[in-house]
Structure 1
Amino acid sequence: MLSAKSFALDCDVTYVNDWGGGYQINVEVTNNGASSVSGWQVDLLFNTDVTVTNYWNAAIETGSTPITASNIGWNASLAPGQSASFGLQGNHGGGFGTPTCSDSAGSSTSSTSSSSSSSSSSSSSTSSSSSSSSSSNSTTSSSSSSSSSSNSSSSSSSSNSSSGATCATTQQNCDYYPSYELSCVWYSEIRPLCQGQDSGWGYENNQSCIGRNTCEDQWGDGGVFLCDPDTGDCVPEQASGSSTSSSSSSSSSSSSSSSNSTSSSSSSSSSSSSSSSSGSTSSSSSSSSSSSSSSSSSSSNSSSSSSSSSSTSGGGRSGWACVDPTGVPGNDDWLTTQGNKIVDASGNTVRLTGANWFGFNASERVFHGLWSANLQDTMQAMAERGINLLRVPISTRLIKEWMSGQADAASVNDYANPDLAGLTSLEIFDQVLLQAKSCGIKVLIDQHSADADNSGHNYELWYKDDISSGDFYDTWEWFADRYKNDDTIIAYDLENEPHGSPDGSAGANLVRGENESWEEYCQRKPLSQEIDFAKWDDSQDEHNWRHAATVAAERILGVNPNALILVEGIQATPKYGKWVDNKSGAGEYSDQCYDNTWWGGNLRLAGQLPVEVPGHNDQIMYSPHDYGPLVYMQPWFKDGDFTRESLEADIWGPNWLYLHDDNIAPLLIGEWGGFMDGGDNQKWMEAIRDEIVLKGLHHTFWCLNPNSGDTGGLLGNDWVSWDEEKYALFKPSLWQSGGKFIGLDKVIPLGGNAGTGTTRP
């Protein structure tokens, strides 16, 4: 049974940045004991007075030092050896030093007894951890965490939660534990079991509980148990050797909360398979009998679902997400640029409009959400809602593992995804491409970080530790060569959010004269000797992003001359042409030698110093990122009187929009999105959405994932329903005409033959 045990909780603090009166740190909490921790709390002791202005992946009790941080719902459970990370930023009173961190005795544990039938926490529970970059900015990383949103299931009971059923409602083990209650052990955390609701999370019915089927379908060793509400001890619902009293249904029903949609599913489909050894994805067709599976359409204006779906007995849907793509050409949809437009081979203008789905970049090495959601259902829902481009973040380390033949089995819910059972991360990626093709969706691959790390995007550069610049180039070339004959991967985003600024000490003792202009002062300062930031100039320095992007583009286009290449911006560019050490930060006492903006959002120098590959310049375009005040309170948000027009004139125009307006190159805004707060953040989202529509810009919304801590997602916390309010804001930005969403495949309509989209003109 589950019982309280001793534990050893360690935490390490990593200094990220210190600017003027501001700071940023990351903290990693590790369970080094032999028991599973079911909740943790640590104290951060600073050497100076601090305030916290932003934090992610933890609940923070603000106040004077020490500052207490504790888990949020999704990262409460730590198996032995497992870690959780969080971060915070704020202001300090000077003389800032990296704080010490210690367990504040707020942690509790649960461990597994020798009983083979008891619930246990396993390392596989990390599949439910959730983090990835949503964005970053001039002084802070954006959070890369699971959102602790108000509608997530909570382990603590509340006035509207459903308590577990008493043991009198069960058989066998209840005779021995009459005071125990039916509960859901959810990845080693005890949560209430819903009454009168078999699937989903209880918030649909204003309850804080988990449905029986959802609880039993989780990946790993959790499930429905009898638990003592006072001690937390749990035993199996049934005595050892007996059958489970209530098993999951052999047919799964997965529906999105949408309006005006009806569901339909056919009785058979082709199942897909892929080869991980070939240079391109392949598919084979075989008949698949159907159980009674219901997969409802998630499009707000759709009237039918997939015509080619099926279900395997006892599991989630299998087969094709939309239509069978076998025999559909894989090399006829390539695109090129023409001024500020993207055109197909016939010269027709197209628009790339979509969303991000992260996970392959993180430690899980596979899409987040596949621990519960079905890949085909999700892909079909995206297509039917008009997403014609899927930006897929990935890491250099993962591609390096694939390149060396070290692809490991990925943690997904085999019950929800029978087609993915036992596959490696590479094989699942190939399946993703096949299912995307099935629905007429194209893919943009984004090199999100050097390391396969849930916070790897925080690092400034495209190389780190044992991941070298050479690895960055080699992995891109290998990847592009592998998929050169598959136009499902239509484009390559070379590196996510290169950033940093030269905040060294050279010239720090120089004081600007009373009558000295900022230009004179910044020119008088010595050149920076720092190399841990991304710059943009005409040198061949390793940390020159323009040079690295040029080499990477050459390597990719050398094996696939048809792909689009997307180059992101950096964070800071010198106002007066000289890369000097800034006193850093945006405070009133900082030097004003740089133009700072969001990480990846500064393309001020791309017009005069473009990324060029002779003979292939019409394959190169640019991709800035932009966010609202809930990600970081940039100076232009502080007074709250910004408008679309003011943002265009003061921020977007000089940083990146000029490339479009001056007909230099197309733009794809790779990340934008956020919470619907009814305030300034939503005001910003509407403003940039309107700019996208007005200018006809390409874009991918951040993000599909509900577990992005600083933005939330288009999907609900169940990974099936959609945030209809957010989707309604997002929908006008999608490529559409005459009530139809327009895809980028000239054969397969967006969403399949029965979907809501059409092929490109």
Structure 2
Amino acid sequence: MMILRCSATGFFLLLHAISAEFCVNKLEWSTMNGHVIVNGIPLVLKGVIYPGFETEHYAPLGLKLQKLNKILDVVKSNNFNAIQLPFSLEMVRFNPYTKNIDCELNPEFCGITSIRMLDFFIDRAAERGLLVALSNNQFLGNSSFLPPNLWYDSQYTEELSIEIWNTLIARYINQWNVFAIDLKNEPHWGSTWGNSNKKTDWNKAAERMINRMGSFSGLFFVDGLDFSNDMEHAGKYPIRTLDELSNNRVIYTPHCYGPEVYTQSVLQALFSQADFPSNLGALFMARFGFLVGKHLPVLIGEWASSNDPGGLDEKWNNYTIDWLRKNCITNNARLLSDDWLTPIARKLELINRLQPNPSKFEARNGKICITEGAFPESHCQYREGLTPYAGKHIAGERTIKSPHFGTYLSPSTWYNGTAVFMSENRKCVKWFIDDIDGKVDLRPDCSGDFTTYLTADPEENLVRRKEWGPAGQVWTPSLNVDGTWCFKSIYGNFLRAEPNKTVRMQNDCSGFARFVVEPWIVSK
């Protein structure tokens, strides 16, 4: 059956108390303590998986029956904010012409190549504020194939796969809504996760691939073993690339299937037990839930089940939704019926229960405007405010960046050499943060200047750098719900970045007083 599967995709997400909009020049992605962060706020993702590019048609399915615009309008109108597009390596390598499209309904897509079709799809998704994740699903375009068990074969080597990925990355490097790449869909028979066999250790291959994709600034999705049902070994062998900034953009993407969709031997005994489905919790925790406890970001990349009432899958659905909500994870489901226009009511009800308030995106006046989302469970909220012993968490060589403006805190050589401002580039933006019993001082590293400190000036409401003195140079850092940090002076006000690149103080920890603190990485 042709399906559009909803990927109310499951990051370990946060509850944010308010819904506020702000606009940025570009989307900037990272993770912190298991949270996915976009421009300093938590991402609340709710998406659909749209098949077709991975098949022998080399185009989105459903275009024989409906206009693409109408299908995308249904996705948008049902409060989704992202689409995952599976494709085949063959499609990108040879760029064949599209097939199975009604030329009266979609005349602009007839007689064009598959890559041009992909361009159109991504552009029209962007018009509706929909993010796009690209997923390496097949080597050869064929809807009847299972995903390849390894990430390579004799025809499509690891090297060729990396080249194909970099072709797509280069093509969409300036496309604001292409936010993630799924390196390889569902490794299975013969794939391993460890550090002993280069030919089968999928995790090490994922690291090698990411190391070769340095121009991509979005998120990297990494599936687990056994059709991505199992990420048990990721705890012992987490993904570790050569670049810390890339490590902070790795998302673990296990898949989850009901008993009537994918029969797994390990589940058969559970289904027959009297405590089914509550006995699923321990299995979910062992397979991927433990990653949340390790503060690693988790997304359920695919979630599929039957809609038949009264069966095993109905019990599985209800329990799984409740378990994921309780553990602050969201997931995916099938969305559209065979007419490619009508949402499957039961699936939509379940996914809306799981994620009713996703983040929203809109391209407007040359900027991307973001409206914050909210997770439904209050206990998923990361408590804002003072973080005990916070100084030790951010001590070291760091950059301090405004997520709103993309600028970096930097010492200045003008204004008597004491001013501090926000720089658009990474020149002279390295700071030494020293832990002082949970509080911190901040010293710039610029032209050999190691003796001055970031200093609050209450009289002029400014921030300067001065030699060590009796007051104004000790700050209290606090970690916010969105993964950003605030710096409170001894006078009770907070460090603030201004749109005109100056640095001042304000009375609370909100808006422009929030900063992303990251390890210092030498610019390449």
Alignment partners' CA distance in 2, 1:365 and 1:641? 46
Q: How does 1:314-393 map to 2 (within 5 A)?
A: 332-345=26-39, 347-393=40-86
Alignment partners' CA distance in 1, 2:66 and 2:300? 27
Deviation at 1:480, TM superposition (A): 1.4
Q: How does 1:467-482 map to 2 (within 5 A)?
A: 467-482=156-171
638 and 725 in structure 1: CA distance in 2 versus 1, 3 angstrom threshold: closer
TM-score (structure 2 length as normaliser):
0.62
Provide the residue aligned with 2:355 in structure 1. Answer: 734
439 and 416 in structure 1: CA distance in 2 versus 1, 3 angstrom threshold: same
Deviation at 1:636, TM superposition (A): 4.5
Provide the residue aligned with 1:680 in structure 2. Answer: 312
Say if 2:5 and 2:336, in contact at 8 Å, map to a contact too: no
Deviation at 1:457, TM superposition (A): 2.6
Say if 2:332 and 2:351, in contact at 8 Å, map to a contact too: no
Instruction: Please tell me whether residue 483 in structure 1 is matched to residue 177 in structure 2.
Output: no
728 and 680 in structure 1: CA distance in 2 versus 1, 3 angstrom threshold: same
Provide the residue aligned with 2:232 in structure 1. Answer: 604
Q: Choose which of 191, 202, 213 in structure 2 pairs with 1:534.
A: 191
Q: How does 1:750-761 map to 2 (within 5 A)?
A: 759-760=371-372
AA in 2 matched with 1:656: F
Provide the residue aligned with 2:272 in structure 1. Answer: 639
Identity %: 23
1:312-347 CA distance string (max 9 Å, x none):
xxxxxxxxxxxxxxxxx99612321111111122x2
Say if 1:133 and 1:455, in contact at 8 Å, map to a contact too: no
AA in 2 matched with 1:428: M
Deviation at 1:132, TM superposition (A): 10
454 and 479 in structure 1: CA distance in 2 versus 1, 3 angstrom threshold: same
Instruction: Please tell me whether residue 743 in structure 1 is matched to residue 436 in structure 2.
Output: no
Alignment partners' CA distance in 1, 2:331 and 2:6? 14
Deviation at 1:637, TM superposition (A): 4.0
Secondary structure of 1:392's aligned partner: strand
1:532-552 CA distance string (max 9 Å, x none):
x10111135122201211111
Q: Choose which of 328, 345, 354 in structure 2 pairs with 1:724.
A: 345
745 and 699 in structure 1: CA distance in 2 versus 1, 3 angstrom threshold: farther
Unaligned runs of 5+ in 1: 1-56, 58-129, 136-328, 501-532, 572-598, 704-713
Deviation at 1:643, TM superposition (A): 5.0
Deviation at 1:454, TM superposition (A): 1.4
384 and 471 in structure 1: CA distance in 2 versus 1, 3 angstrom threshold: same
Deviation at 1:682, TM superposition (A): 1.5
Deviation at 1:686, TM superposition (A): 1.8
AA in 1 matched with 2:272: D
Q: How does 1:27-426 map to 2 (within 5 A)?
A: 332-345=26-39, 347-402=40-95, 407-426=96-115
Alignment partners' CA distance in 2, 1:660 and 1:369? 36
Say if 1:476 and 1:552, in contact at 8 Å, map to a contact too: no
AA in 1 matched with 2:327: K
Alignment partners' CA distance in 2, 1:494 and 1:410? 26
Alignment partners' CA distance in 1, 2:76 and 2:191? 36
Say if 2:5 and 2:49, in contact at 8 Å, map to a contact too: no
1:101-134 CA distance string (max 9 Å, x none):
xxxxxxxxxxxxxxxxxxxxxxxxxxxxx59999
Deviation at 1:442, TM superposition (A): 0.4
Secondary structure of 2:221's aligned partner: strand
Instruction: Please tell me whether residue 618 in structure 1 is matched to residue 311 in structure 2.
Output: no
132 and 333 in structure 1: CA distance in 2 versus 1, 3 angstrom threshold: closer
Deviation at 1:698, TM superposition (A): 4.2
723 and 483 in structure 1: CA distance in 2 versus 1, 3 angstrom threshold: same
760 and 747 in structure 1: CA distance in 2 versus 1, 3 angstrom threshold: farther
461 and 134 in structure 1: CA distance in 2 versus 1, 3 angstrom threshold: farther
Deviation at 1:689, TM superposition (A): 1.8
131 and 375 in structure 1: CA distance in 2 versus 1, 3 angstrom threshold: closer
AA in 2 matched with 1:743: K
Q: Choose which of 676, 682, 690 in structure 1 pairs with 2:322.
A: 690
469 and 366 in structure 1: CA distance in 2 versus 1, 3 angstrom threshold: same
Aligned residues: 351
681 and 640 in structure 1: CA distance in 2 versus 1, 3 angstrom threshold: farther
Bigger CA radius of gyration: 1
Deviation at 1:700, TM superposition (A): 3.5
Provide the residue aligned with 1:629 in structure 2. Answer: 259
Deviation at 1:725, TM superposition (A): 2.5
Deviation at 1:563, TM superposition (A): 0.9
439 and 387 in structure 1: CA distance in 2 versus 1, 3 angstrom threshold: same
Say if 2:6 and 2:332, in contact at 8 Å, map to a contact too: no
AA in 2 matched with 1:629: P
1:222-242 CA distance string (max 9 Å, x none):
xxxxxxxxxxxxxxxxxxxxx
Secondary structure of 1:682's aligned partner: helix
Instruction: Please tell me whether residue 559 in structure 1 is matched to residue 253 in structure 2.
Output: no
Deviation at 1:356, TM superposition (A): 0.9
Alignment partners' CA distance in 1, 2:249 and 2:42? 14
Alignment partners' CA distance in 1, 2:142 and 2:151? 13
Identify which of structures 1 and 2 has the higher relative contact order when contacts are C-alpha pairs closer than 8 Å and 6+ apart.
2
Provide the residue aligned with 2:183 in structure 1. Answer: 494
TM-score (structure 1 length as normaliser):
0.43
Alignment partners' CA distance in 2, 1:496 and 1:617? 20
